[in-house]
Amino acid sequence: MRPMKRIRPAAADGEPPQRAQWMAPIVISPFDPNTLYAGYQYVYRSRDRGDTWQRISDDLTDQNPRQMGINPSAIPYQTLTHIAESPLAKGVIYAGTDDGNLHVTRDDGRMWTDIGKNLPMALKKWVSRIVPSKYEAGTVFVALRGREDDDFAAYLFKSTDYGVTWTSVVGNIPSGSINVIREDPSVKDVLYAGNDFGVYVSKDGGRQWNVLGANLPSVEVSDLQIHPRDHLIVISTYGRGMWVMDARKVRAIK
């Protein structure tokens, strides 16, 4: 049996305690399998699979001491919920928080820009997913959820200029917090979105959506992935198991 090793980033001397979601974001760079990113209130980067870490951002939350939840018995708040690096542009990294902040760095963490303030109505909602496009370097999709605020509207946005401007692509999705957005790995403008009631598919980049999966239960969809080789859509739900669909049949639907 291989020995286990603790690789969690350590707070530097004099820094406040780390805050992390119970499902804190930990992602692998698409350019280097040895490079990891971990999200607390900061973004950390490791170049050696977690042996050593470097903090590459300031605190990206609102830093409201009344909401931090650093009591050991409480679930931390004011933390990062999602990190994503562009698959086309190395060093372009997005980070979103549970208190509605959204930032991007285009120089590998040296400088971060607040792009959440550019969202329509400056929405301050939990950032549930960030998906930098595999087709265009400046394009990124962001899903927000208001479930924690008893707001069950659907929020889904697209930017083509690294977050300077945003357009809603929620289309005709009627309601339900959106938990995940994915691009089809083979066909541009085919998008999949999972919310608290199921999965939707768009063939036109988000202008029009259709329900995906006639026998999929009406249940929270927590994540979905499209396997690029086997063309399978794999859907995870909260309490109703895992589901699989053939992406080729979905793409063929007129």
The model's pLDDT over 81-125, given as tens digits with 9 standing for 90+, comes to 999 999 999 999 999 999 999 999 999 999 999 999 999 877 899
- Give the per-residue pLDDT at 158: 98
**Would you place residue 140 in the very low, low, confident or very high pLDDT band (cuts 50, 70, 90)?**
very high
DSSP class per residue in 234-245: EEEESSS-EEEE
Say whether 15 sits in a helix, a strand or coil: coil
Q: Per DSSP, what are the bridge partners of residue 112?
A: 105
- Cα–Cα distances in Å, from 77 out to 70, 134, 148? 8, 31, 11
Q: Per DSSP, what are the bridge partners of residue 84?
A: 94
**Mean pLDDT of the residues in the chain:** 93
- For the full predicted model, state whether its pTM sits above 0.85: yes
Place of tokens 């999972």: 194
Cα radius of gyration (the chain): 18
**pLDDT for 151-179, tens place per residue?**
999 999 999 999 999 999 999 999 999 99
Across the chain, the runs of DSSP E, i.e. the strands, are: 26-28, 36-39, 43-46, 54-55, 80-85, 93-97, 102-105, 112-114, 126-132, 140-146, 151-159, 167-168, 178-183, 191-195, 199-202, 210-212, 221-226, 232-237, 242-246
d(CA 235, CA 186): 18
Domains plus CATH for the chain?
26-168 (2.130.10.10)
Pair 200, 221: CB distance under 8 Å? no
HSE-up of residue 225 (Cα within 13 Å, Cβ side): 6
Q: Quick one: which H or E segment has residue 45?
A: strand 43-46
77-87 burial, b at 16+ Cβ within 10 Å, e below that, comes to: bbbbbbbbbbb
